[in-house]
Amino acid sequence: MEATPGTDMSDLSIASRAVIRPISEIARLAGIPDMAVESYGRYKAKVDPSLLTARKDRPGKVILVSGMSPTPAGEGKSTMVVGLGDALTAAGSKTMIALREPSVGPSFGMKGGATGGGYSQVLPMDEINLHFTGDFHAITSANNLLMALVDNHLQQGNSLGIDPQRITFKRVTDMNDRALRHVVIGLGSVTDGVPRETGFEITAASEVMAVFCLATGLADLRARLGRMTIGYSYAKAPVTVDDLGAAGAMALLLKDAIKPNLVQTIGGTPAFIHGGPFANIAHGCNSAIATNTARALADVVVTEAGFGTDLGAEKFMDIKARYAGCAPDTVVIVATVRALKMHGGVTKDELGKENVAAVRDGLPNLARHVSNIKKFGVQPVIGINQFTLDTKAELAVVTQWAQAHGVECAVADVWGQGGQGAGDLASAVLRTIEEPSNYAELYELQLPVEEKISTLVREMYGAAGVEYSAKAKRVLEQIHANGWDQLPVCIAKTQYSFSDDPTLLGDPGGFTLQVRELIPKTGAGFIVAITGTLTTMPGLPKVPAAMHMDVDGNGNAVGLS
């Protein structure tokens, strides 16, 4: 959720006063036949993609929204997706947007929701930020059913010979709960399970979430679930979900969740919000099914990949587009004067003061994001998300730089004006997607894993090299031995820096990336490389956002942001 520039109106209060139309109207607007729509309340629906036949031969163009490296100043990427979508609708394009579902855990911690802000929000904001249509819960259930079956297998004789010390899969909860990072389970008596050390991850970081978001249909979902590796046998052979016979029951728990969720923006643009992996510790894009269903309905689809081009956008192209064939026709890089100033060395307290030099000093960060996108053969567009205190001179630094480097660039005020504030950006995007792109992934799958990683970190992060921990080296051997070399890589890295050190802003370059852990996700279909001190289970802050949340006397939400 965005900061609130120069006004005391909260996102929740703007959202609750916005005009919202029945979801059946939005479905008709999107060209979805009634029989494919299942309402969940008045303003949400699940859409069955198998009941859509129209125009699968001529899919809509994909506008991917990414950003520069985020800072505590906020960059407003989801807000830009919504504002740009509404601007494209206003410009007469048949448009849909596709976003990730918010995770409940972070909403009750620090972050707030993920439904845009101001006059660029998706509605109904409160319902989307709470349980929505239950997809995260279904994913949590499927994951934890699997783990109950794994531990029950140990308890009931362990016929597969699973080594309890080598179970890599974990239980999940959609909650920021640091006390569950490292746990010992199976204590008590002989009927209370086999004792072993394990931990919980947040649902958004789980492989089931990744599988959910990369699957192209229910059959593919079931097959990917079955290919997930839960650990290793005493003979050190991988044990899969199919070995346990659990893929069917897991798919059953996901059969409705896998249908994309239809909602609307404040401007009335139909929106799919579906699936929500984090972009630092996972691949960071909404479901492939939602993106492809939107492309079957609309001429242009505006979608988001989490954090900067080094994280979400790279993974969108090297993982999601590779599996699901939805390569972007352009990438909008969201930049803010405030973020540029922070990359240029200004502290958060000093952001209110004009500082043209600092904006200029922050440009190397933006420049690397621009060049990252070009490396995929895709032409980027810079979208400056304007804040109230930005000065003309500061904005001019960015637009002049863009012009000098031959990159389309437009200023947008999406928070305050919604789609009306993004007319120039919409024009720049439409000009750009008229040209065919020369899209190609960054690396070939047949390269060894180490080479894929070194290519990626050199080209995207500007790293000089990679160092593997002893543990990671052992897993590399395992990867070769098990024939998993052909998988793409998914690097888990801080979003704040191109490096693995969150304090190195701008475009640090020349650093050595530390790969602490490698985790083969054989169902999702990628090898996760964990760098730095990243955790797959966030904690709560000293005063969690939950402390300010409540319901009023009419049953309405209070304190969601």
| Rounded CA separation 325/9 (Å) | 41
Q: Give the footprint of a copy of itself on residues 195-224 (CB under 8 A).
A: 197, 218-219, 222
From the candidates 45, 79, 320, 557, give the one annotated as an active-site residue: 79
CA distances from 458 to 372, 466, 485, 497, 498 (A): 11, 9, 20, 14, 10
CB of 27 to a copy of itself, least distance (A): 13
Could you count the other beta carbons within 10 Å of the beta carbon of residue 375?
14
> Is the Cβ of residue 350 or residue 550 nearer to a copy of itself in the bound state?
550
Q: Which is nearest to 498 in space by CA: 375, 365, 381, 398?
A: 365
| Rounded CA separation 103/173 (Å) | 10
CB of 554 to a copy of itself, least distance (A): 8
> Is the Cβ of residue 246 or residue 428 nearer to a copy of itself in the bound state?
246
Q: Are 149 and 162 in contact (CB under 8 A)?
A: no
Q: 376 an active-site residue?
A: no
Q: 44 an active-site residue?
A: no
Q: 307 an active-site residue?
A: yes
From the candidates 44, 46, 100, 493, give the one annotated as an active-site residue: 100
Would you give the DSSP letter of residue 335? Answer: E
Q: Is 73 annotated as a binding residue?
A: yes
Q: Give the footprint of a copy of itself on residues 82-141 (CB under 8 A).
A: 104, 108, 127, 130-131, 134, 137-138, 140-141
> Is the Cβ of residue 100 or residue 171 nearer to a copy of itself in the bound state?
171
* Pattern 223-262, a copy of itself, x by CB under 8 A: ----------------------xx-xx-xxx-xxx-----
Q: Which is nearest to 271 in space by CA: 395, 375, 115?
A: 115
Nearby residues of 41 by Cβ (< 8 Å), 6 or more positions away: 127
| Rounded CA separation 178/362 (Å) | 34
Using the contact rule CB under 8 A, the part of the chain among 117-125, 186-194, 360-368, 389-397 near a copy of itself is 186-194
Nearby residues of 238 by Cβ (< 8 Å), 6 or more positions away: 229, 231, 232, 482, 522
Q: 132 an active-site residue?
A: no
| Rounded CA separation 479/486 (Å) | 10
Would you give the DSSP letter of residue 458? Answer: I
Longest CA span, the chain? 72
Q: 111 an active-site residue?
A: yes
- Token couple for 103: 């995770």
Q: Give the footprint of a copy of itself on residues 42-61 (CB under 8 A).
A: 42, 46, 50
* Pattern 152-171, a copy of itself, x by CB under 8 A: x-xxxx-------------x
> Is the Cβ of residue 153 or residue 283 nearer to a copy of itself in the bound state?
153
CB of 56 to a copy of itself, least distance (A): 18
From the candidates 278, 387, 401, 511, give the one annotated as an active-site residue: 387
> Is the Cβ of residue 318 or residue 500 nearer to a copy of itself in the bound state?
500
Residue ranges for the binding site for ATP? 71-78
Indicate the annotated binding residues: 71-78
Catalytic positions, please? Answer: 77, 79, 100, 111, 279, 307, 387, 415
